[in-house]
Structure 1
Amino acid sequence: MMLDDAATGRLLWQVTTRWRAAVDRAVAPLGLTHAQYTLLGSLYGLSQSGTRPSQRELADFAGLEPIYVSKLIRALESAGMVVRDQHPADPRALRLTLTDKGLAVIKEAVTVVHALQDELTAPIGGSAGPRNRELVRTLQALLDPSDRNEPMTETPVLTGQDISEAHGAVRKLHEQILHDTGTTSNQHITLKVIAVRGPWASRTALRDHLCDQPQLGLDDAAADRLLNELEQRELINGGDPVTLTAQGEDLHTRLTTAVQGTAAQLYDGLTPDDLAVAHRVLTTVMERADRLRQDV
């Protein structure tokens, strides 16, 4: 059998063309094209983390040419799905926001396209199957020139850097969500501790519990300052037992809803088996790190 040197490019082009046509047909009843769906979905993803991107930022995120994005945004704006306003940090840039109509349309479109993706990937075991995950890694390697000369391994090896970068990325995402409310990560965690495990019999008991949480990195003085900040913001009461005020309960509810929304997107598409393995690995690493820290 003669080797077709052009098979890779030809097959990629054929799959891409058919895939795009299928998505075009699926989202047409919602008033979208494949390109508009891609852009609207990217804007939706960014907006869920509290970001209001400029057209340039959205183009970079979606992997599309800025001129093409400008054309698509004008069409989406005319359809009442997106609004543009002046960017506060750059008078030359326009900031993008989904309208209520745009939000409703993209949510429905995501459901439609995800179902279509499951159908299209059925021959290789579906979207969550190992063959599709391997296909995704292969396509990512083709898209990233820096990986061009690196041999692909069948199973990527988890490293400490991976864990650190994942933790840092999620923490930055949460901090961005918290930023608009003027709340720090440690303040949010403290509100959660009081809401879920409270009321606390005394401020001292709560302070000691916070100091025992290694992820907070607090000593007695820092924990006291943290509680003083929450009291000054009238988010917790000033006496014993320690409870959330009505304002604190409202903020905790709003932040929990926002964080849970991003968590759903972070874990979307990961199978129960994937999550179970990740849980076992991270739990083991955490336990070993605690033991090693005690020996140092």
Structure 2
Amino acid sequence: MQAATPWIDVDARLLRTWPLPQVSPEADKEERGRVLVIAGSREIPGAALLAATAALRAGAGKLVIATAQSVALKLALAMPEARVIALPETAAGAFAAHAIDLLDECAQGADAVLIGPGLMDEDGTDAFVARLLPMLAHAPVILDALAMNVVRAGPRLNQPVLLTPHAGEMAHLCALSKEAVLADPEQAVIAASREWNAVVALKGAATLIATPDGGRWRHEAEHPGLATSGSGDVLAGLIAGLAAQQVPLEQACAWGVVLHALAGKELARRLGPLGYLARELPGEIPRLLRRLRPPGQLRLSPRE
């Protein structure tokens, strides 16, 4: 019998041997990648702000936010670093079908795309994401929150995609009980990755990352303060910001998970184990990135 593929522990030590690409001091913002964040709704506009901020803190060079028309102006004022595209909404709060037409240009120019934080209306979002994905075949895509529901209808994904469910979301996506997922999370994430042909990160105190070709990573961290509103939006944004820099999805995910946990640890040390806010996490990221660079790796040639 073939031995099971071992799980690789993801921690700061591993990341120092799995470095991120770096650009030279002469490189401009285009060389650090463009992120498109499709997120936010009239009820949850802050999710787009959290994810977008995290993407820039992770090092991405340019940012476009596509969000609900009803909140786009306020979001543009709150995020002056971004171009903000106002998407028409349905009565239920999803993006209207013809909103796809407004995304063609920025979608083609994106180096990574995040879809999902803060979106409303499951049925409307499912239809929107299913129509949008073929436009994004050239770029890695991170699906979060309601956007992940697109895999329930199948077929298997045929482009680079990462999904970031917690146990409850995984149960919903796989038509299992939450108890079944928690009873054997390793099998759940492996099976989901193979079925969907996607990288899957099952979030929790132990976050498990699996790829369709058998890659398996585990990160364990007990930071209860990270279980707070908006924390998942920050994690998704971090991964998108890293992926935009031509980092493979599984590596961007591993780095994002560790950076997210370490940011929580830093805030817990300064403020206390509970009560820090998701909006405070991105500010910790640049210092952590500097700390995690391998000794002597100060610069590499810009990407071609």
Give the alignment's TM-score, normalised by structure 2: 0.25
More strand by share: 2
More helix by share: 1
Report the structure number with the largest CA radius of gyration: 1
Bigger relative contact order (CA 8 A; separation at least 6): 2
